[in-house]
Chains A and B, each alone.
Chain A
Amino acid sequence: MAEILEKKLKDQDFSDTGALLQVKRLHVWFELRRFGFGHAGYVRAVDDVSFELKAGQAIAVVGESGCGKTSLMKTILGLNTPIKGDIIFDGMKLSELDRKGMMEYRSKIGFVQQDPYGALPPFMSIRSILDEPLIINGVKDPKERNERIRQVMEEVRLSPVDDFIEKFPHMLSGGQQQRVVIARAMILEPKLIVADEPVSMLDASVRVEILKLLENLQKSHNLAVIYITHDLSTVRYFSERIFVMYAGKVAEKAVVDEILNNPLHPYTEALLTATSEPDAANARIYKEVPPGEPPSLVNPPTGCNYHPRCPKIIEGLCDLEDPPEFEPVPNHLTLCWLHKDA
């Protein structure tokens, strides 16, 4: 009886059914301390972010350096603790998980980091690296582990497997290393992959391969993917939707084509101009866009946090009041007063 009641309560929690991941009014603030103690304010790395992700859906989070993309991802992975808000993933409420629950939660999210060499322990062979998540998550049978390791290596195209399995990270190329990182993220058969700038450290020649690999994996395993990048030119590979992040907030959310063809937020517009499509004309118009500095995350400006840089500022409104989320076009949301009449 109590169980059913509890389940009902749980069901109520994620009212919009069908979502694999729900991020609700998430605030990730890092406390600043003076001389190691004494409160000196907060770094608002993630400030009131909400979104949902369905199984098999891929989104891209774009934004300039320091806007809180990594902080958001690490919070979803359970590596940072939010000070407000909640994350519900696959029916598990992150804030209420015990040790065992946390293990299960983490085993269902794969993590692909930016720097493949740093992400691999240099003293472990590829086999041990891929063995670790299995051992930790209680796969006791060595035969089964071996099979799963080989299978996942085939899947990320580290084949022939025997050529790689006993090697050490430093013996592999950057692209191969990133394949190992992806294999490690995949080996526990997660439902969600979080990829934090997975190709930005790689040679241009292998970027496309890695992105295509992620796309294939996403399709064949019906994976949800959160792909973080500061490079809009790579989002087309597999993401359906783009979130544009600015100073801890999601400034604009829409499907890829909408964002690229019809940007609503002035920051997105500026970002698009800065994008480096691999074509000569673009290279010439590349300049430091958007102009100006991102705001301080410790003392964010009042009102819209983009207003100090915004060319379309509405004086007396943008600089005073926080913009709510407007939906001028269906399924295209933005935090911008310009669209208040929509």
Chain B
Amino acid sequence: MEALKRSFGEIRKYPSAVIGVIMILVLIGLAIYTVATIPYSEAIRLWRGGEDIWYSTPRNAFPVWTNWFTDVKQPETIVMFSEDNPDVTKEYTTTSSGKTDIKMSYTFDYTADDFPQELSLFFKTEYVAKEPFASITWETPDGRTIRVGDLAVSRKQTYRISQDEALVRRLGGEKPEVGLFADPESPDPENPQVLKGTYKINVSVLLFEDTGDASAEYVVFGEVFGWAGTDHRRRDLMLPLMWGAPIALLFGLLASAGISVLTMIISAIGGWYGGVVDGIIQRITEVNLTLPFLSILIMIGTFYSRSIWTILGATIVLSIFGAAIKTYRAIFLQIRESTYIEAARAYGASDMRIIFRYLIPRIIPLLIPGLVLGVPAFVFLEASLAVLGLGDPVLPTWGKIINDAWVNAALYNGYYYWILEPAVLLMITGLAFAMLGYSLDRIFNPRLRGL
């Protein structure tokens, strides 16, 4: 164990190993941070909750950082709720006839170079019998006032300004998200420019009963959203990008460690007992090596279960009788003849003790680099299965993002961020473990000459 410690100490001499360790630590930090801040149940709710959760995010929005690389700055999403927002004023006036008029004014700056994706108002009202009536007007920075629309609002009402045909007509055939923000003095009326400045949308809700209330959330759906962007279902990609880390690391580590350790124990047992036991293990290995691993996993995923635990279990079971058994066995056959093993038998060590205390510790230096290098292989395996549509149906993972992107022709539509982000994270993971693993190999392998 001392020798192991010394070998790990040597990592410092290998810059690539140091970088690898730092990257792994960052990934682990990200994983821990994610699990701590977004608990599993919350993650699943955000990932699979439905429109109620995603209604206020834009569809297929690029990440905000894409604005850094273009001259035409795309709009960010603006969400304003009528309650507790300093930029929204809300006034109640009671008319003589016992009706209540609620006036809500949303003031916001619009400075992007391009028009937003959509405009919507999400009403919530309380009333007994008669639906309140809302009228909406729009004030532009240059002082024009535009009537947006009037409608009766039920308890929960979505008003998609962008889809109001009457408004389109009033704006002279222009889409509302363009017409409302367009500069009337654009040099080319066919290609209107954005009028930058402070806008105001006034929502007045008339309640016909003496009790009741109304609130409204105003959303300008931008073309960019958050640091990760969103997908075709308006979901913030930050969630699967973050949650993909713990899942990928856990899957990779469990698979790699499970396989390495079990393979080592199996080959130690075979190497020690020899004879029939060894023969059976060797035959199983030979048969197993000819089995098409990926095809079996695909079959299990297709016909049985796509749960990550099933896939993990199947991966481990199908891999423990791997080629490493032959390598380890050769070494064990050599070690079992060592005189220190003979000495151990002479003072009464049992077979199990010899396997675990005397045989296996010799192989650990060989095992560790292999284990580290195995991690990204299994991370990629999980991602590949997800890309093939065999990922866990519940979990937000990197592979699932790529799968969604693929199914929705992300590259064809130009949503490169959708594939780029998970791919970069996968590459970082692979690189980190590879850099550490190969350095460990170099550190440990000279030791093996002492076998």
Contacts and interface: CB of A to CB of B under 8 A. Distances in A.
Interface of A: 74, 77-79, 102-103, 106-107, 109, 111, 113-115, 118-123, 125, 132-133, 136-137, 168, 181, 184, 188
A74 B347 CA distance: 12
Specify which of A77, A107, A119, A137 lies most central, judged by the most chain B CB atoms within 10 Å of its CB.
Answer: A119
A107 B348 contact: yes
Contact of A107 (B339, B340, B347): B347
A188 B343 contact: no
A72 to B, nearest CB: 14
B348 A102 contact: yes
B342 A132 contact: no
B353 interface: yes
B348 A133 contact: yes
B343 A111 contact: yes
Contact of A113 (B1, B342, B362): B342
Interface string B343-365: 11111111001000110011000
A136 B349 contact: yes
Contacts of B91: none
Contacts of A114: 339
Contacts of A102: 348
A154 B21 CA distance: 44
B362 to A, nearest CB: 7
Nearest to A106: B348
Contact of B346 (A111, A122, A125): A111
B2 interface: yes
Contacts of A121: 340, 344, 358, 361
B3 interface: yes
Interface string B1-23: 11100000000000000000000
23 contacts: A74-B342, A78-B346, A79-B342, A79-B345, A79-B346, A106-B347, A109-B346, A113-B339, A113-B342, A118-B338, A119-B343, A121-B361, A123-B1, A123-B362, A132-B349, A133-B347, A133-B348, A136-B347, A136-B350, A168-B2, A181-B343, A184-B343, A184-B347
A77 B345 CA distance: 9
A113 B342 CA distance: 9
B349 A123 contact: no
Given A106-B346, A107-B348, 7 more contacts: A79-B342, A111-B346, A114-B339, A123-B361, A132-B344, A132-B347, A184-B347
Nearest to B345: A79
B143 interface: no
B189 interface: no
Contacts of B446: none
Nearest to B4: A123
Interface in B321-339: 338-339
B343 A123 contact: no
